[in-house]
Amino acid sequence: MVQYVGVEHVIRLVASTGLPEVFTGLAGYIEEDFRRWADFEKAPRIASHSAHGVIELMPASDGRLYGFKYVNGHPRNTRSGLQTVTAFGVLADVATGYPQFLSEMTLTTALRTAATSALAARYLARRDAKVMALIGLGAQSEFQALAFKALLGLSRLRVYDIDRLATGKFLANLADQGFDITVASSSDEAVLGADIVTTVTADKQKATILSDNMVGAGVHINAVGGDCPGKTELQRELLLRADVFVEYPEQTRIEGEIQQMPADFPVTELWQVITGQAPGRRSDRQITVFDSVGFAIEDFSALRYLRDRVQGTDCYSEIDLLAEPDDPRDLFGLLRPALGRSVAALADIGA
């Protein structure tokens, strides 16, 4: 049998574990996997593009476990009341090739994206960071706010969205979560006095959510929204002034903010910072950018976390995705009980 974790299971897991603990747990698994970066077989995602959006498969393997995520991106889905992004993922045993664990990953991707952002900020933001600006209050925004609170203790937010309904939703969702929230009337106003700026807008275009003159010395920018070709949030000049950190350069140069820059634009890989092979923040005046696009290893970590966490709980069920005949060469034996005697055989015995 294959263990199955659906949307209801994840909700139950969050309820029984506590959301801050889920964020710190996820960040721990992601950090652990980033520390052993060289162990992984890495590949860019495999995309199938259409006029409506993209469907992607993102595989990763550490030689013992193989994982992949199915994920789509369909910007116009919201018009018909659907999610822009849905996802699910699988873990399999490399030694036998058997799938072991299947999970929803729409909620889980939102959780791991925020956990990765907060993990990166722990290495890249100023240690005395207290205020975060959050621009874009869509589906990922509350996850970002709560992950930064869980991992960095950050509770002062300055938020902005062009859509008042999104702002209202955000405020309602976080009303009782211990935040001190200032609603700004523009992106410019939101970033005033912020130590960390998170951009997580949804428009699929080359936008300028942050221009060079909006960002002062010492700020850490957590750039989440620019995550596919043709979709960016930061002005080019700002990237030239900053030090840019990425997950997997081969992918980020296609999908991230640095798609605006030449192919040799210098970046530092986050795993190198986490392992101490490269410096993270070097001064209180440096501007750092985490150019986040989401990488398969983060999904691998998230699946590992879920699998480990649900054991011994009621947060999973089992599905018969695997055929398990007693004799492996007798796959057909599984169908035997389903077969009637054939007409010819019945004729033979005079029936």
Give me the residue label for tokens 């221009």: 211
Q: How many residues sit close enough to a copy of itself to count as binding (CB under 8 A)?
A: 91
Quote the least distance from Cβ 70 to a copy of itself, whole Å. 7
Kindly state whether residue 142 participates in binding a copy of itself, applying the rule CB under 8 A. yes
Binding pattern for the stretch 59-98 against a copy of itself, x by CB under 8 A and - elsewhere: x-x-x--x-x-x-xxx--xx-xxxxx-x-x-x-x-xxxxx
- Site membership for a copy of itself, residue 162 (CB under 8 A): no
Beta strands in 7-130 (DSSP E): 46-49, 54-61, 65-73, 87-93, 99-104
For a copy of itself, the closer of residues 117 and 286 by Cβ is: 117
336 binds a copy of itself (CB under 8 A): yes
Phi (first) and psi of residue 136, to 5 degrees: 105, 110
3-state secondary structure of 269: strand
Q: How far is CA 345 from the centre of its chain?
A: 58
For 291-325, the DSSP string reads: E----HHHHHHHHHHHHHHHTTSSS-EEE--S---
- Interface characters, 176-215, with a copy of itself (x: CB under 8 A): xxx-------------------------------------
Rounded least distance, CB 160 to a copy of itself, Å: 15
**Paired strand residues for 290:** 222, 245
Q: Scan residues 24-63 and list those touching a copy of itself (CB under 8 A).
A: 41, 43, 46, 48, 50, 52-55, 57, 59, 61, 63
CA torsion sign, 323 to 328 to 334 to 335? positive
Which residues, 99 to 118, sit near a copy of itself by CB under 8 A?
99, 104, 106-107, 110
Q: Which of 33, 161, 195, 227 is catalytic?
A: 227
Instruction: Scan residues 292-321 and list those touching a copy of itself (CB under 8 A).
Output: 319-321
The one segment of 13-21, 230-238, 246-254, 308-316 that binds a copy of itself by CB under 8 A: 13-21
Q: In this chain, which of 26, 125, 157, 166 binds a copy of itself, going by CB under 8 A?
A: 166
Q: Within a 10 A sphere around the Cβ of 80, how many other Cβ atoms?
A: 7
Query: How far apart (Å, rounded) are the C-alpha atoms in residues 62 and 66?
Result: 7
350 in contact with a copy of itself (CB under 8 A)? no
Q: How far is the CB of 35 from a copy of itself (least distance, A)?
A: 22
Among 14-22, 188-196, 261-269, 296-304, the segment contacting a copy of itself (CB under 8 A): 14-22
- Classify strands 65-73 and 87-93 as parallel, antiparallel or unpaired: antiparallel
C-alpha span between 151 and 278 (Å, rounded): 22
Q: Which region among 172-180, 249-257, 266-274, 289-297 touches a copy of itself (by CB under 8 A)?
A: 172-180
Shortest Å distance, C-beta 349 to a copy of itself: 9
Q: Is 21 in the site for a copy of itself (CB under 8 A)?
A: no
Q: Which stretch binds a copy of itself (CB under 8 A): 223-231, 261-269, 297-305, 330-338?
A: 330-338
Q: Write down the residue that tokens 């993990």 correspond to.
A: 119
Kind and range of the H or E element at 111?
helix 106-124
Cβ 172 to a copy of itself, closest distance in Å? 9
Give Cα 340 to chain centroid, integer Å.
50
Could you give the CA distance from residue 50 to residue 43 in angstroms, rounded to a whole number? Answer: 22
d(CA 232, CA 225): 7
CA distance 341 to 24: 59
Assess whether 62 carries a catalytic annotation.
Answer: no
Q: Residues with catalytic annotation?
A: 227
